[in-house]
Amino acid sequence: MPLADGALTGPVLVVGAGLLGTSIGLALRRHGLEVLLEDVNPQNLTIASGLGAGTAASDGARPQLVVVAVPPDHLPEAITQALECHEAVVTDVGSVKSAPLREVERRMGTGSLSRYVGSHPMAGSERSGPLAASAALFDGRPWAVTPHEGSDPGAVFLVDELVGLCGATPLRFTPDEHDQAVARTSHLPHLLAALVAARLTDAPSSHLALSGQGVRDVTRIAAGDPLLWLQIVTANSPALTALLGDVRDDVDRLLAAVRDGERGTIAAVLDRGVAGTAAIPGKHGGPAEPVGALFVAVPDHPGELARLLADAGQIGVNVEDLHIDHDPGRPVGLVELAVATDRVDFLKGALEARGWTTHR
Amino acid sequence: MPLADGALTGPVLVVGAGLLGTSIGLALRRHGLEVLLEDVNPQNLTIASGLGAGTAASDGARPQLVVVAVPPDHLPEAITQALECHEAVVTDVGSVKSAPLREVERRMGTGSLSRYVGSHPMAGSERSGPLAASAALFDGRPWAVTPHEGSDPGAVFLVDELVGLCGATPLRFTPDEHDQAVARTSHLPHLLAALVAARLTDAPSSHLALSGQGVRDVTRIAAGDPLLWLQIVTANSPALTALLGDVRDDVDRLLAAVRDGERGTIAAVLDRGVAGTAAIPGKHGGPAEPVGALFVAVPDHPGELARLLADAGQIGVNVEDLHIDHDPGRPVGLVELAVATDRVDFLKGALEARGWTTHR
């Protein structure tokens, strides 16, 4: 096992040929590495190998690296098995890092895990299964690499290599730091989005006609696979329990303040909300850049949005983000273009000169 | 005052030349109606009349309709004054309808309000002031019209006319129904988005590098003007207090379930979240249509997004929604296209044939 030189040359054994495992196989095959696949479901194996993600592993396989890509509930068992059956470096791509690590330590002893380094790609999971896989799934994404205290530096290097070959950017965290970070940036937002969405199920449907883009944005992620999220939330219980306790206290204070009209408390919540949105890093990991919004009325048929963006491109203004506002009543959508603050007025004038109806 | 024939012919007096008032003036001027403007701030008046939204009102003005467009805190006083000073029909465009109505009733007596009909356009408020105004602000938007029990039918008809001339679609609610509806679809989402965003201010900035599109979407509206939202939240205290009480109970149950690993309770929350996202009406007020996601890698410079959408347009697939995923690490954005479920595979194949890197 070439830990010393650190180069990932394969073979790589991928355990679990779902969305993430199959995508990793496809990404590594781009670079010509040998990829071996395992899955308890033979249909997944057939699809993944048919897509070109690798070949079914045989019993005597001697991989350089094992990537465990199974659902959160099955991580401890699959990581333990990979460490016991192979001399290889082992990583996993689960959404939670501490609880599985502790369970593997309990099973094997802390001294036996130098070859294990956890990791977690920040890649989409709205769909699942090998048919949804893509070699490009990780392109440009952050990918947390989370060594524990006993991880061999050579093993960490090899996992960094995996991340790079998949087109992603490795970011270093301890397992606990990672879990606290994603509890805040992913798991808590998911749960509160679900609570906001849940309140909509109580409403008469006529009330929901007043839904605007705001509630659509807030609740969008709550549509994600509830079985996967159940496992993620359960596995990250310590970090989420602490955060949910803070939120419960926040809601208690806010409830009393709204009931009693205590404006200072409500204002403090709103001000902290504004500060929180500004704390999210901007594009490409830099500080958040000031962006302004320009609204444009766009007829709702194929080609019109393209024509708008073609005009914006010719005008030379980069569109940082875009929202389409779905409104009842008529077949014209309002499109919100987010562009650098100092370009909004220029873009507005130039688009209107081309016949678009806009407002700020 | 031509209540009987119902046609809105003007003059229309707009009280408050901010974003909404000035936009209403501009929209009515498109149809040639005479618009008179009032504002306590002479600079707003100068800007609004300079933009062509109307002319400063003189003392002897005899409007057919008064539109009160002042911040929530000042609504009761301004509505009362409009009813006392003019023989006209009076409406307002505030975000909350019951509390201002009750306060006006307290000041004037319930018998004197037949000429008053509240209303509330569902139009953007991320910016404020007359410079942000636009004749197109209300195009295609829902606009709640909220008569009270004593409202004259002719007055209601005139407000519906106003809504139509502004390009919006009138939706009828009682004041209480309206406030309950927007508490659920707008005010509660705003407050919970602020609480999620507030939790980000506690985090080390390195943790926020793991922020994905999910937390950005959930927290986006929390960036809105905290002074305006303070007034909205305070004015809608009864409806929000009831909802926040429900949310507090939800968070309590969820906290206990996450702490104790009670999977059934967590699963029920997630399932209700999925159901809530499906309850939001689809485009143009119809039922939510099943849409699927296709991810496309797009180089981050002007024109590339336009080229993608031009290709989608030529392929003949209508893009229902679009998200741009901002990733640290490299200058390629991932664009998520939402299209009808049965068009995803077709679009994927056709885009790849044109050289785009996609995944589902």
Domain spans of chain A, in order of start: 12-174, 179-204+212-279, 291-359
Judged by CB atoms closer than 8 Å, whether chains meet at B218 and A215 is answered as: no
- pLDDT tens string B129-158: 888 888 888 888 899 999 999 999 999 999
pLDDT at res. A124 = 63
- CA angle, corner A21, sides to A16 and A26, nearest 5? 135
Residues B218, B193 contacting (CB under 8 angstroms): yes
pLDDT at A302: 64
* CB-CB neighbors (< 8 A) of A273 in chain B: 193-195, 197-198, 219, 222-223, 226
- At residue B184, does pLDDT exceed 70? yes
The nearest alpha carbon in chain B to A214 belongs to B221
- Cα→Cα distances A187→A95, A175, A337, B210, B226, Å: 10, 16, 28, 12, 26
Nearest 5°: CA angle at A27, between B307 and A23? 90
Buried b (16+ CB within 10 A) or exposed e, B56-90: ebeeebebbbbbbbbbbbbbbebbbbbbeebebbb
Between A280-289, B86-95, B198-207, the lowest mean confidence (pLDDT) is in A280-289
Give the residue with greater pLDDT, B254 vs A353: B254
Contact B312 A306 (CB under 8 A): yes
The predicted structure's pLDDT at residue B132: 81
Percent of chain A with pLDDT over 90: 62
Lowest mean pLDDT among A250-254, B54-58, B305-309, B354-358: B305-309
B323: pLDDT strictly greater than 90: no
pLDDT, one tens digit per residue, over B96-125 is 999 999 999 999 987 789 999 999 998 865
Residue type, A202: D
Which is higher by pLDDT, B43 or A339? B43
Decide if A25 contacts A48 (C-beta within 8 A). yes
Is the Cβ pair A284, B23 closer than 8 Å? no
Least confident of A36-50, B4-18, B67-81, B324-338: B324-338
B2 min Cα distance to partner chain A (Å): 28
Q: Among 3.40.50.150, 1.10.510.10, 1.10.3660.10, 1.10.287.1080, name the CATH number for the domain at A179-204+212-279.
A: 1.10.3660.10
Q: Cβ separation of B210 and A261 shorter than 8 Å?
A: no
Q: What is the pLDDT of residue B3?
A: 44
Which amino acid belongs to residue B191?
A: L
Q: Which of A186, A303, A327 sits opposite B142 (nearest CB)?
A: A327
Residue B6 has pLDDT above 70, yes or no: no
Per-residue buried b or exposed e for A226-259, using 16+ beta carbons within 10 Å of the residue's own CB: bebbbbbbbbbbbbbbebbeebbebbeebbebbe
Contact A273 B198 (CB under 8 A): yes
CA pair distance B36, B34, nearest whole angstrom: 7
Interface test with A, best of B251, B265, B300, B352 (most A CBs within 10 A): B251
Which letter, b or e, does each residue of B330-355 get, where b requires 16 or more Cβ atoms within 10 Å of its Cβ? bebbbbbbbbeeebbeebbebbeeee
Site from B258, B289, B314 to mutate, A interface, most A CB atoms within 10 angstroms: B258
Cβ(A19)–Cβ(A74) under 8 Å? no
Is B1's pLDDT higher than 50? Answer: no
Check residue B129 and give its pLDDT: 82
What Cα–Cα distance (Å) separates residue A29 from each residue in A2, A52, A92, A155, B329?
20, 8, 19, 21, 22
Averages of pLDDT over each 10 residues, chain A, 360 residues: 65 96 96 96 93 92 96 95 96 96 92 94 74 85 94 96 95 96 96 96 91 88 91 95 97 97 96 93 55 77 75 79 58 73 85 84
**Which pLDDT belongs to residue B359?**
78
- CATH number for domain B12-174, candidates 3.40.50.300, 3.40.50.10190, 3.90.1150.10, 3.40.50.720: 3.40.50.720
Distance CA B136, CA A330 (A): 14
For B266-289, what is the mean pLDDT?
79
Q: Which CATH number fits domain A291-359: 3.30.70.100, 3.30.70.260, 3.20.20.80, 3.40.50.920?
A: 3.30.70.260
Give the predicted TM-score (pTM) of the model.
Answer: 0.81
Cα nearest neighbour of A264 on chain B: B230
B272 and A201 within 8 Å at the Cβ level: the answer is: yes
- Residue of A233, A276, A281 with shortest CB distance to B199: A276
In this structure, what DSSP letter does residue B225 have?
Answer: -
Output the pLDDT for position A111: 78
Tell me the percentage of chain B whose pLDDT exceeds 70. Answer: 91
- Across the range B260-281, mean pLDDT stands at 94
